[in-house]
Structure 1
């Protein structure tokens, strides 16, 4: 919410109302934010809001707590309370990041951090089910939308499956190149999703605070029974929420669930 140049002028409380004061404060703030709230901007402090509405700070805190629970506002420890940025649903699907951002009306971009061949580390070898030291192609990127960092992706592919890929510039869409140049159309995959905290290097790349919450997704992608790609991605938890459709076995869905993974 932009406090300047316009002054904060939410609707005052109605002393004749039978509604609890914290509810009145909550709804007055909600209406103000719907009209003037800029995502990511700070709102006045509890003390300022207490003085503005003429209520106790505990009453203001109650109202703010409710709006935080609804994801209208978000608190950042040590900084204050801010208008929440809308979160993009993170649906799991093997499509390209570029396609997904364009579909959302955003301008996608990527900064290549590494595009090289190296020997598989013990971790990568275990995940790809290959020998330690076997050549793999490593492709690491910082993915952006409308100029803002959204995620950091790192892919590992057995080098013998993509001979000559390093002779060309880094691909804009990795899965498109795998499909069109090498005939490797990802048919299925397995994702492991967990919460984690931003390390110093990831925090810098995602423009978040050290130890900020992130979504970490590890993927194993297959063509038939052959694993082609192992990837690790870190998503900003303040910009994404996970959406997972559920279905009882044997029951047809009333709609076609399409999911997305920024790949």
Structure 2
């Protein structure tokens, strides 16, 4: 009798049973990690029920270990289909590289769906972030960013129209913000100061990103500046935690007490105080 798509092929497993002397959840996680490493991205894993029956453990244990691997980006829950091997994380190399340019460099097709685009007066908080006068016109742009059609992030960006007039007239499904600023205004991102939080998505964001409500995401609030120190944009965006991680490097400035900088770190801060370079890292 042929197996169904959710049944276990014994030849794919490193072991057929769990040891009685070790935590069963830990053993199952190792087995599933090994299985995911040998299967191609998108390959369907056995169902929770099949795994529980095969290894003679509770479905609660199976569900917990699968969720840990989903959180770690090893597996992915595809709604209406099952649990599959996750795609490699095609994240930005850093916060100063445009999403579109970085995806193309990785051989992926970047995409954008404009969720909203409006011109609004800058309130006090936004005016402070953009370093403009309150009431100044600001382009508020919200896009769903995709890679090979898969949703990656919900990006919310604010740009001063007083400094960059005409941006509100563009079709942003076909344009990169950083590339447009360089082509039209001759400015490029040089530094970015970011605040990064681990959060659970709200229901509408979970639907947009095609993740479960209990899938951790990265909320990034950043202000990007050009080489002269002027603000280019302020961002508040939500990135899928199963497709992105963050690499932070810190370097102590030479003027601080304690051990001198050893040169192993790198960042935008230079040697005049604490510098920190926070960037998204592909894995």
**Structures share fold, TM-score greater than 0.5:** yes
Task: Tell me the CA shift for residue 192 of structure 1.
Answer: 1.0
Match of 2:175 in 1: 172
Q: Is the 8 A contact 2:250 2:265 kept in 1?
A: no
Q: Is the 8 A contact 1:191 1:219 kept in 2?
A: yes
Are residues 1:245 and 2:249 paired? yes
Q: Secondary structure at the match of 2:212?
A: coil
CA distance in 1 between counterparts of 2:210 and 2:92 reads 19
Query: Quick check: 80-89 or 99-108, which moved more?
Result: 80-89
Q: Secondary structure at the match of 1:238?
A: coil
RMSD between aligned residues = 4.1
Q: Is the 8 A contact 1:220 1:230 kept in 2?
A: yes
Q: 1:184 aligns with which of 164, 184, 187?
A: 187
Match of 1:142 in 2: 144
Aligned in 2, Cα 1:35/1:246: closer, same or farther, shift over 3 Å? same
Q: Secondary structure at the match of 1:244?
A: strand
Are residues 1:215 and 2:241 paired? no
Task: Tell me the CA shift for residue 183 of structure 1.
Answer: 2.0
Question: Structure 2: any 5+ residue segments left out of the alignment?
Answer: 254-260, 268-276
CA distance in 2 between counterparts of 1:7 and 1:149 reads 29
Aligned in 2, Cα 1:252/1:166: closer, same or farther, shift over 3 Å? same
CA distance in 2 between counterparts of 1:189 and 1:27 reads 38
Task: Tell me the CA shift for residue 27 of structure 1.
Answer: 5.7
Q: Under a length normalisation based on structure 1, what TM-score does the superposition of the two structures give?
A: 0.74
Q: Is the 8 A contact 2:136 2:162 kept in 1?
A: no
Question: Structure 1: any 5+ residue segments left out of the alignment?
Answer: none
Task: Tell me the CA shift for residue 51 of structure 1.
Answer: 3.6
Match of 1:230 in 2: 234
Q: Is the 8 A contact 2:140 2:156 kept in 1?
A: yes
Q: Secondary structure at the match of 1:52?
A: helix
Task: Tell me the CA shift for residue 150 of structure 1.
Answer: 0.5
Q: Is the 8 A contact 2:202 2:213 kept in 1?
A: yes
Q: Under a length normalisation based on structure 2, what TM-score does the superposition of the two structures give?
A: 0.70
Query: Quick check: 23-32 or 95-104, which moved more?
Result: 23-32
* Larger relative contact order (CA 8 Å, sep ≥ 6): 1
Alignment of 1:8-27 (within 5 A): 8-10=8-10, 11=13, 13=16, 22=24
